[in-house]
Structure 1
Amino acid sequence: MPRTVRNILFIMFDQLRWDYLSCTGHPHLQTPHLDRLASKGLRFTNAYVQSPICGSSRMSFYTGRYVQSHGAQRNNFPLKVGELTLGDHLREVGMDAFLVGKTHMEADAKGLERLGIAPDSLIGARVSECGFDVVVRDDGLWTEGPDGAYDPRPSPYNEYLAAKGYNSRNGWTEHANAVTLEDGEITSGWFMKYIDRPANVAEEDSETPWLTSRAIDFLTEPGRDDHRWLCHLSYIKPHWPYVVPAPYNTMYGPGQVLPPVRSDDEKRDPHPVFDAYMQTLVARSFSRQEVREKAIPSYMGLIKQADDQMGRLFAELERAGRMEDTMIVVTSDHGDYLGDHWLGEKNFFHDCSVKIPLIIYDPRPEADFTRGQTCDALVEAIDLAATFIEAAGGEIPSHIVEGRTLNGLLHGKSSENWRNVVISEMDYSTTPIAERVGVTHRDARLFMAFDGRWKLVHAEGGMPPMFFDLQSDPEELIDLGRDPAYESERARLYEHLHAWARRLSQRTAISDRELDAMSGKFLRRGILLGLFDGSEVPQENLSTIPARPGNNV
């Protein structure tokens, strides 16, 4: 039995594409610190999120459950008050769970009120913060508009900037995500016309170094080694706005922008939902080469800055001796289209959106066999919860956590009985897409089933599927969803999707072991239904029946 890990450092970048690291094959981006971690650990080449949306994807990471199970199907959808999270599971085995950065979690305020749980109590705070004890929470969008602030909570990052002497009402808007024009005017970093200019903030005060510093403060706090911990270090970048401080804004240029993966054929009779997404403002913007030549070098600069901060963080771990007992995981909550398939943002199921980087460094000797290798098994985001629980010394509650542990793969064990299909979901009910397509809230849902070669995208509302063969069409340019020649393959994946929909996912209050203990016990507790004269069962089960004259018992 492998020994347990003492600590877990769970690092997540927001909107980091799987293929924008040098260790995953990008020809221009150099990410030596993440590459070094991959050389010491195992890199998974087929890792997929449960939803290509920040909030719903993250809730699956934190609960180990599919989106359909936890119900937080889109950003700002509350996570039900009864859902168990990583913090709940890990505390049972003596490991604390802390947050440094983003969760995009919306608390179930009505549920807390119904149960009489005060949000500022210990339990209320943990339920409101997705099970974590908060070191600092920053979801990264401190923007404002005519109807007010996107996030009405106080901004810890703005407080930091103010303490550093940035004289502004909203430092996120006026400094970290703003640029200076030639005439000295400050303008918004939302305007992609200007994002090749440096952010109006010192590099060391920008968001990624700021969160790294908060993580180092956490690691070096006196008494930190007194208790085992999981630290979820959750970065805001390289999520938009695509603004990066000097010198990272000039490290890449149009010459390092890869050609877009797209085809004019994708616009000919497209799937209705895909067509609607191609009509969005962000999609039309990223379809312009001049936008890609501005945005993508900045996106690459944000990733390069992130890798440099990983070097700083890993050096601190090595100095403190924590590399010897800390499992380190690096991943992302989803990708970014960047103009591929005529789209921007995420929100759909091509690999550039739904596939993620995943590197796991396991310090245990059992992982020596796989160091520096890659694993092609189909992995889901929900697998991390199961992996962490087991690595911490717990028993995975399979009636709650739907993911599979990756510890066996990390330790070189066979993946013969591994899953053969991954599932992802998306709810677009609150978007203009639903109205454009003409579906109700209940029908504004998409499901992906992918077996490593064939990818099925099912749309509710009576629409046809999309279907791709990634063996002959690895760039996912040819939709075979309405081609009769592929009906049998589509039917096969639909059967997988139907089997997944029939899974037992809501019986979370009682485990299989408890069911086993209950099975067949009623007879021994006086429930004698169906007996004719008592001879059908062992006599000891009838020992409490009163004996009267004439009673043969």
Structure 2
Amino acid sequence: MKPKPKNILFVMFDQLRWDYLSCYGHPHLKTPNIDRLASRGVRFTRAYVQSPICGPSRMSTYTGRYVHSHGASWNGIPLKVGEMTMGDHLRAAGMGCWLVGKTHMRADAEGMRRLGLDPDSIIGARVAECGFDVFERDDGMVAIGPDGPLENPDDHRYSHYLRERGYAGDNPWHDHANSGVDAAGNVLSGWFMKNAAEAANIEEPDSETPYLTRRAMEFIEQASAPWLCHLSYIKPHWPYIVPAPYHTMYDTSHIKPAVRTNEEFDNAHPVLKAFMTSPVGKAFSRDEVREAVIPAYMGLIKQCDDQIGLLLEWLDQTGRMDDTMIVLTSDHGDFLGDHWMGEKTFFHDTSVKIPLIIFDPSSDADATRGTVCDELVESIDLLPTFLEIAGGDPQAVGHIVEGKSLVPILHGRADGAHRDRVICEYDYAATPIAERLGVGAREAVIFMVADRRYKLIHCEGGFRPILFDLEADPDELHDLGDSEQHAAIIEEMYERLFAWTRRISQRTTRSEAQLQEMRTAIRRRGVVLGAYDENDMPLELTVHYRNRKAAIRKPAG
């Protein structure tokens, strides 16, 4: 009898496309270590994020709530100080919740000041760090512009590590980990995609992915159970540059043809065309950009897979695989030139569908070991899954957590479909695209609802919908949003979207059980409404108002 997991290793890669792993069918990129994890667990083929951009997607994963509910709708928009997170739920169940790597979270500093929360206190630090206790926070992105740095290099432990290892300069993250160098010592910045084929100017063990792997091992070695460790890698997110030997492992012969057509571009919906013709979209529409970037992107993924191999081997050798659930996923994908776009900020499957592999070491999961699940699942389903593994009751927090536990699927006892639709949202109010489309900040939002057959995209601002038939058109090249023959389908999908918007998502201070108790509680506390005389109410509810005596007060004077 294998023991139930007492620890959870929650691995998230940044910007890893679901179809760039060999277990998901990539024809050239071999990822044997991630494949091995899949062979020991369950691989999900229809897992979707709740937003196609880092910050909101992660905030949904960390809260178990849709973007519409938690409100952190774009990178840099804080998670409201009152939102409960993975750490809050797990600690209440007796499991620690620790971070090694990236969250992309911004603290609600104004809210913390208003409530008098000291960021240096334990509770203040947790609120400022998305509910995690921090072993190491590293969001990467140590960029520096004319208005100063995005992140101060001196605030990053990784920057100090690089300097200790002899990598000089005021920003070793850029000059070494994310840039090449020529024979004269000139830095070939990784921000410029023409340099993607260069080897990063760093020894491979000192680059970001191996560094975070070692830090995760250091955390696990010193941790006392039970714990969740969120190992949140920064790669294969841009800058697209990778150290030797990974920079030469792939070339143009390994690049899959771009999934796009001239007809798709020429007839694109106005909102979709705005994304296609953004600077990133224009760049990735060029073959020279794809030919420079994609081999480097594949090299980054190969390095990630090798590090997962080292981590799995270490867990096996130390006996920790026997009591540790391992979850491997991504926060979104990467268009890489498909559909005339780069980055990830739209709703095609290349962007919003993610890899999700879950290994449960317990005997309860033996029946599903090595299987593939095609149920519709969402990133918000991970938090209630972790809570159930920790011994908590996801139903008890169902008024807060909007996801559904995957444990019934993992243990082969799921009864019926997990979901009949998935939801994704994108708020582009803070981007130049909103200005180009002439929409106000309140209208610059897009919603996706998809089932197993159709995907509907609703664009605020008076635009018609976008519709894809995922069965007849799995590459999502033909928009049926103005097809009269599909009017009934569009109406049906809109009804699913409207049903989602009508959910009760902000009633988070009272559970359903408490609300049911409140239906009669006020009567049992002596409040009598609608009674003409005492016999209109049960005796026990009015006993304190019957047969009472009081002194007769004589009028004054």
Same fold (TM over 0.5): yes
Secondary structure, in 3 states, of the residue corresponding to 2:304?
Answer: helix
Q: TM-score, normalised by structure 2?
A: 0.96
Residue in 1 that maps onto 2:554 = none
CA contact (8 A) 2:51 2:426 kept: yes
- The one-letter amino acid of 1:64's match is G
Q: Is the 8 A contact 1:4 1:393 kept in 2?
A: no
| Displacement after TM superposition at 1:515 (Å) | 1.6
Residue 47 of structure 2 is aligned to residue 47 of structure 1: yes
Provide the rounded CA distance (Å) in 2 between the counterparts of 1:104 and 1:401: 21
Tell me, yes or no, if structure 1 residue 357 matches structure 2 residue 355.
yes
Structure 1 Cα separation of the partners of residues 139 and 90 of structure 2: 23
Q: How far is 1:57 from its partner?
A: 0.1
Shift in Å, 1:415: 4.7
Q: In the alignment, which residue of structure 2 is the partner of 1:26?
A: 26
Which whole-Å CA distance do the structure 1 matches of 2:402 and 2:125 have between them?
Answer: 25
- Paired AA for residue 456 in structure 2: L
1:276-297 Cα shifts (integer Å, max 9, x gaps): 1111111111111111111000
Tell me which of 248, 251, 259 is aligned to 2:249: 251
- Counterpart residue identity of residue 358, structure 2: I
Aligned equivalents of 1:401, 1:449: Cα separation in 2: 19
Q: Which residue number corresponds to residue 162 of structure 1? A: 163
Partners of 1:389 and 1:470 in 2: CA distance: 33
Shift of 1:185: 2.1
The residue correspondences of 1:264-413 to structure 2 (distance < 5 A) are 264-396=262-394, 397-413=397-413
Give 1:35's aligned residue: 35
| Amino acid in structure 2 at the alignment position of 1:298 | A
Amino acid at match of 1:168: G
The answer (yes or no) to whether the contact 1:423–1:449 under 8 Å persists in 2 is yes
Q: Give secondary structure in 1 for the equivalent of 2:235.
A: coil
Give the conservation status (yes or no) of the 8 Å contact 2:3–2:323. no
Contact 1:455 1:470 (C-alpha < 8 Å) held by counterparts: yes
| Rounded Cα–Cα distance in structure 2 between residues aligned with 1:320 and 1:4 | 17
Identity %: 58
Name the SS for the 1:230 alignment partner: strand
Structure 2 distance, partners of 1:386, 1:155, is: 32
Structure 1 residues 121 and 72, CA gap change in structure 2 (3 angstroms):
same
Runs of 5+ unmatched residues, structure 1: none
Whichever residue aligns with residue 92 of structure 2, its letter is E
Assess if the C-alpha contact under 8 Å between 2:377 and 2:418 holds in 1: no
1:119-518 aligned at under 5 Å gives the runs 119-152=119-152, 154-221=155-222, 224=223, 226-396=224-394, 397-518=397-518
CA contact (8 A) 2:72 2:79 kept: yes
Cα distance in structure 2, aligned partners of 1:139 and 1:255: 33
- The code of the aligned residue for 2:493 comes to L
Contact 2:4 2:361 in 1 (8 A): no
Q: 1:415 to 1:348 in 2, by over 3 A?
A: farther
How many angstroms apart in 1 are the aligned matches of 2:549 and 2:24?
85
- How far has the Cα of 1:191 moved from its partner? 1.4
Deviation at 1:413, TM superposition (A): 2.0
User: What is the deviation of 1:547?
Assistant: 2.0
Q: Could you tell me how far apart the structure 2 residues matched to 1:36 and 1:94 are?
A: 30
Post-superposition Cα deviations, 1:28-56, rounded to whole Å, max 9, x if no partner, equal 01101100000000000000000001000
Question: Relative to 1, partners in 2 of residues 1:115 and 1:548: Cα closer, same or farther, differing over 3 Å?
Answer: closer
- Pair 280,516 (structure 1): closer, same or farther in 2 beyond 3 Å: same
- Equivalent positions of 1:8-19 (< 5 A) are 8-19=8-19
Render the CA deviation track for 1:291-339: whole Å, top value 9, x for unaligned. Answer: 1111000000000000000011111111221111111000000000000
Q: Please say which of residues 255-264 and 527-536 is displaced more in the overlay.
A: 527-536
- The separation in 1 between residues aligned to 2:271 and 2:430, in whole angstroms, is 14
Query: Structure 1: which 4+ aligned runs deviate by more than 6 Å?
Result: none
Name the aligned partner's letter for residue 115 of structure 1: L
1:246 counterpart letter in structure 2: A
SS where residue 544 of structure 2 aligns?
Answer: coil
**2-structure distance, mates of 1:85, 1:64:** 8
C-alpha displacement of 1:165: 1.0
| Post-superposition offset of 1:4 | 4.9
Contact preservation (8 Å) 1:4, 1:392? no
1:178–1:186 contact (8 Å) kept in structure 2: yes
Unaligned runs of at least 5 residues, structure 2: 551-557
Q: Distance in 1 between matches of 2:90 and 2:221?
A: 22
- Specify the code of the residue in structure 2 equivalent to 1:130: C
> Residue type matched to 1:430 in 2?
A
Residue 286 and residue 415 in structure 1: after superposition, are their counterparts in 2 closer, same or farther (change >3 A)?
farther
SS of corresponding position for 2:140:
coil
How far apart are residue 184 of structure 1 and its match?
Answer: 3.9
Cα separation, 1, equivalents of 2:418 and 2:89: 24
Deviations 1:47-77 (A, max 9, x none): 0000001000000000000000000000000
Tell me the matched-pair count.
546
Looking at structure 2, the residues matched to 68 and 247 of structure 1 have their Cα atoms a distance apart, in angstroms, of 43
Give the drift of 1:521. 2.0
Specify the SS of the correspondent of 2:482.
coil
Conserved 8 A contact 2:4-2:363: no
Partner Cα separation in structure 1 for residue 492 and residue 182 of structure 2: 56
For the residues of structure 1 that align with 2:58 and 2:390, how far apart are their CA atoms?
21
**Distance in 1 (alpha carbons) for counterparts of 2:286 and 2:258:** 10
The structural deviation recorded for 1:404 is: 0.4
Deviation at residue 517 of structure 1 after TM alignment = 2.2
Q: Identify if the C-alpha distance between structure 1 residues 192 and 129 changes in structure 2 by more than 3 Å, giving closer, same or farther.
A: same
SS in 1 for 2:458: strand
Q: How far 1:12 sits from its partner (Å)? A: 0.1
For the residue of structure 2 that corresponds to 1:227, the secondary structure is: coil
Counterpart AA for 1:302:
L
SS in 2 for 1:17: coil
